[in-house]
Amino acid sequence: QVQLVQSGAEVKKPGASVKVSCKVSGYTLTELSMHWVRQAPGKGLEWMGGFDPEDGETIYAQKFQGRVTMTEDTSTDTAYMELSSLRSEDTAVYYCATPSTIVYDFWSAPIWRYFDLWGRGTLVTVSS
Amino acid sequence: QSALTQPASVSGSPGQSITISCTGTSSDVGGYNYVSWYQQHPGKAPKLMIYDVSNRPSGVSNRFSGSKSGNTASLTISGLQAEDEADYYCSSYTSSTVVFGGGTKLTVL
């Protein structure tokens, strides 16, 4: 049974960085395309970016480019999301999520059709 | 990239049917048959309910169904039950990225 186990809650000051982890069990990370989705308190879901295992590149949502870095440690099957220059609006629950199967289009670009595997979420609070 | 548009709330009585709409553009909902729907109970992670517009993952009740017409996708829940009360989000693939709707709160009266 596949599980995504996320790291615990964090409290950070404005301007700091936070690094959230997501450990995969029941699969190897190389079989998956890990994505990160966040949800501010009382707000909707927001896609931050995802990893293309075909070419080893990560695609970031335009809103977060330059401020977010998603990495993977395949030796421990752990994915990481680091967000820098934190501000109060970054207070949110951060989820790792992945499709259990990936399909590719004619140009070998991944098509992210859905996310059927989710971590439980990590609350990041940004407060002075 | 703008979020997909969903009604903020819908409600229905037990046993009734409700439909939640999700409106996008020809670049997302209208351009691909990769619309998915998620159910989220308070304090829980989202759960996939519908994928590829109208397919149900194994284990999801057949009371949940999806459809699409043009730039608008819809989730219908028939035979409403108390446990269906939750937030629902649509999502669409769009040119190497993913966009979510703003969410709809379903209240079972």
DSSP for chain A reads: --EEEE---EEE-TT--EEEEEEEESS-GGGS--EEEEE-TT--EEEEEEEETTTTEEEE-GGGTTTEEEEEETTTTEEEEEE-S--GGG-EEEEEEE-SS-EE-TTS-EE-----EE---EEEEE--
Measure CA of the first residue to CA of the last residue in chain B; give whole Å.
Answer: 35
One-letter identity of residue A42? G
Nearest to B99 by CA among A98, A49, A40, A97: A49
Which residues of chain B are within 8 Å of residue A118 when distances are taken between CB atoms? 45-47
pLDDT band at B64 (very low <50, low <70, confident <90, very high): very high
Q: Which amino acid is at A125?
A: T
- With beta carbons under 8 A apart, name residues in chain B contacting A121: 45
Q: Are B46 and B38 in contact (CB under 8 A)?
A: yes
Alpha-carbon dihedral of residues A29, A31, A33, A36, nearest 10 degrees? -30
Residues of A within 8 A of B51 (CB-CB) are 113-114, 116
Residue A104 forms contact with B (CB below 8 Å): no
Instruction: Name A94's bridge partners.
Output: A38, A122
> Given a cut of 70, is residue B1 above it in pLDDT?
no
Percent of chain A with pLDDT over 70: 100
Question: Distance from B17 to chain A by nearest Cα, in Å?
Answer: 24
Say what the pLDDT of residue A52 is.
Answer: 87
3-state secondary structure of B100: strand
Residue A8 has a pLDDT of 97
Structure tokens at B85: 């009360």
What pLDDT, on the 0 to 100 scale, is given for residue A56? Answer: 85
- Among B98, B100, B104, most A C-beta atoms within 10 A, so best to mutate, is B98
DSSP-derived pairing of the beta strands A10-12 and A122-126: parallel
CA distance B107 to B16: 12
User: What is the 8-class DSSP label of residue B76?
Assistant: E
User: B58: burial class by Cβ within 10 Å (0-12, 13-18, 19+)?
Assistant: exposed
Which chain A positions have a beta carbon within 8 Å of B31's beta carbon?
none
Average pLDDT, chain A: 94
Q: Which pLDDT tens digit goes with each residue over A71-125?
A: 999 999 999 999 999 999 999 999 999 998 888 888 888 899 999 999 999 999 9
pLDDT at B106: 98
SS3 of B82, please? helix
Chosen from A96, A115, A117 to mutate, greatest number of chain B CBs within 10 A: A115
Q: How many CA atoms lie within 13 A of A72 on its CB side?
A: 20
Q: Is the Cβ pair B45, A110 closer than 8 Å?
A: no
β-strand partners of B102? none
